Amino acid sequence: MKKRITILLAFLSLLGITACGNTMPTADEVLQKAIEADKSVKSFSLDINQTETIKADQKIEASKLTKIRFDYTKEPIGLYFENSIISNEVNLTLKKYQTNEGSYFLQYDGQWRKLPDDLMNPTQIQKDMDLNELFRQIKMYANEANIISEGNDYIVTVSLENEKAKEAEHFLWSELPSKEEDKLEQEKSEQKGNKQIMLDMKNIVIKYRINKDNYFLMSTALEYTKSGEESGRKIEDHFVSNSTYTRHNVVPQIKVPQHIIKSAQ
């Protein structure tokens, strides 16, 4: 009898050890490991798809589709950027190379232009492409984050509403289209007599997918809703952004094509 009890206790103890070994890590633990893992990331590609829809009294007033592509290498420093924007106001495609050969920008008239050499700032490029900033942003809300396991990845989700969503709004800059394109679109809109409407942030949902093996960032998703009133009408702005990170540490050296260098003004 004692032998059976001893065996049973040993078995239960083994189950306890196994259960502890499979315990789900906290969101804070996963994000901290992702921050450490990012130190080994020397290159990656990033594809972003964004949609924004503005409604007035439940009727669609404006919509915008944005597609962004990045190829990035830390050493030697290199960045290729492509941004396509389709909306009621504009239809633009922007391209840019930034390497040790210089900065080249595709203008709206289809002509490549070489930017002044002092605008090529490797330190700023590395800062802009630093994934740690993304982790730090969501890590601020780790206590409110939900984490689940899905296949080979962890998914960390943060949902914020009302005042908390408003407080978090200024952290979203890294997920939104670049200010340069936003400013251009705003200017074109104002030229047509459209005034900008101030809306209040109502809710934000942010999701990070992180690989279990190497803790590399695989994707992010951001969704928010803003609302307000203008001339008695109820206005709602709904924004969705999905970003996918690929080719970690396998992006080849980025070089400016010779035909661009020769044709650039």
Question: How far is the C-alpha of 151 from the C-alpha of 172, rounded, in Å?
Answer: 28
Question: How far is the C-alpha of 31 from the C-alpha of 46, rounded, in Å?
Answer: 19
Helix (H) or strand (E) holding 135: helix 132-139
Question: How far is the C-alpha of 51 from the C-alpha of 187, rounded, in Å?
Answer: 20
Domains of the chain plus CATH, in order, are 27-48+65-173+197-263 (2.50.20.20)
What contacts 247, CB < 8 A, 6 or more positions away?
43, 44, 45, 71
Contact present, 70 and 80 (Cβ < 8 Å): yes
Per-residue pLDDT of the chain (265 residues; tens, 9 = 90+): 544 444 444 444 444 444 445 688 999 999 999 999 999 999 999 999 999 999 999 899 899 999 999 999 999 999 999 999 888 778 888 999 999 989 999 987 889 999 998 888 888 888 888 888 888 888 888 888 999 999 999 999 999 998 888 888 876 554 444 444 454 555 555 555 555 678 999 999 999 999 999 999 999 999 999 999 888 899 999 999 999 999 999 999 999 999 999 998 6
Global pTM value: 0.82
> What is the structure's pLDDT at 196?
64
> What is the structure's pLDDT at 88?
79
> What is the structure's pLDDT at 194?
55
**Orientation of helix 132-139 relative to helix 27-37, angle to 10°:** 160
The helix/strand/coil state of 123 is helix
Question: How far is the C-alpha of 156 from the C-alpha of 147, rounded, in Å?
Answer: 5
> What is the structure's pLDDT at 204?
93
The number of CA neighbours under 13 Å toward the Cβ of 144 is 15
* Encoded tokens for 82: 């492509």
